[in-house]
Amino acid sequence: MLSKVGQIMLYVNNQDEAVKFWTEVLGFSVIAEENNNQGFRWIEIAPTQEAETSIVLHNKEFVAKMSPGVNLETPSLMFYTENFEQLHSDLLDKKITVGEIVNMPSGRVFNFADYEENYFAVMEKR
């Protein structure tokens, strides 16, 4: 039986730029990196070393060649934060695309975009 989500695969056009965005803009850490020097390289990132779920950055072009049936679209990811307004302000200060704060029945939410214009959401749960 499944017990938790371990990794989320995120297919990107430029792995180095993606790592830069997730680590320098969002403060994630690189947990692991593998490279077989034949085109297969993946980088595992997470908000903390202790996080139960991580994101693995894969090269979109390589995955498309190796597994043509894989959906390469960006998954809809919802992040939670303890410092909602501070995070919103910090992301605006870093000059990335950040949406307005919206009040939802389950809490406040906003979205932001990475360097490849993939959108992700942040929620302050009530």
22-60 confidence digits (pLDDT tens):
999 999 999 999 998 877 899 999 999 999 999 999 999
Place of tokens 């593998």: 34
pLDDT the model gives residue 70? 94
Query: Three-class SS of residue 125?
Result: strand
Residue 125 pLDDT > 80, yes or no?
no
Q: How far is CA 11 from CA 3, 105, 126, in A?
A: 24, 31, 31
Q: In the structure, what pLDDT confidence band is assigned to residue 65 with cuts at 50, 70 and 90?
A: very high
- Distance CA(102)–CA(110), nearest Å, equals 6
pLDDT above 90 (res 92): yes
Whole-number pLDDT of residue 40: 86
What CA–CA distance (Å, rounded) separates 6 from 51?
9
For all residues of the chain together, what is the average pLDDT? 94
pLDDT of residue 32: 96
